[in-house]
Amino acid sequence: MLTTEVLDAVGGLTAYLKSYAAKLPPVVHLSVLSSGLKPSFETVDSYETIVSRVRSQSAGTPYKALNESLVSSLEAFEIGNLLGAVQPLLSVLDHLERMHRDKEIEMGRTDENRIKEYRAALHKVLPGNKPELDGAGGGM
């Protein structure tokens, strides 16, 4: 398994999260999250396929350390917990950067740019990261 393949998987998972986030209303109270806001079975199945592929291909490689975060992201995604699905993927990106810095894996300039791109995309889908809400709650 190569860094590029891991990043392909993270990119695919990020795309599913962006798509799911786009379907959510701007404000969702977490205690009243209805089952109608959960991702579709087909989407969850596709997400799980990506996670399973990485898990099976990463055995015996430095990337196997990422499996726990990927599974955490999948479990959160299954129940519609956007924050819980995004945070583990951000952790995966952090871990990849750390592995590169520690010379455990090879990473080219293109891979470094992809990490920045995916990190920015994941931050954009985080709840509360809406420009129209900047300054909200500041009073009059």
| Of residues 19 and 26, more confidently modeled | 19
What is the average per-residue pLDDT within 51-68? 94
Q: Which amino acid is at 52?
A: S
Q: Across the chain, what does the average pLDDT equal? A: 86
Spatial separation of the C-alpha atoms in residues 30 and 103, rounded to whole Å: 41
| Of residues 30 and 22, more confidently modeled | 22
What is the average per-residue pLDDT within 103-130? 89
Domain range list for the chain = 3-19+41-125
Which residue in this structure is represented by tokens 């500041």?
A: 138
pLDDT of residue 62: 93
Whether the CB-CB separation of 86 and 122 falls below 8 Å is answered with yes
Q: What is the pTM of this model?
A: 0.83
Q: Is residue 32 over pLDDT 70?
A: no
Residues in the chain: 140
Query: Where does the pLDDT of residue 105 fall: very low under 50, low under 70, confident under 90, or very high at 90 and above?
Result: very high
Q: Is residue 89 over pLDDT 50?
A: yes
- Residue 126 DSSP one-character state: S
Query: Where does the pLDDT of residue 128 fall: very low under 50, low under 70, confident under 90, or very high at 90 and above?
Result: low
Q: Is residue 115 over pLDDT 90?
A: yes
What is the average per-residue pLDDT within 42-59? 95
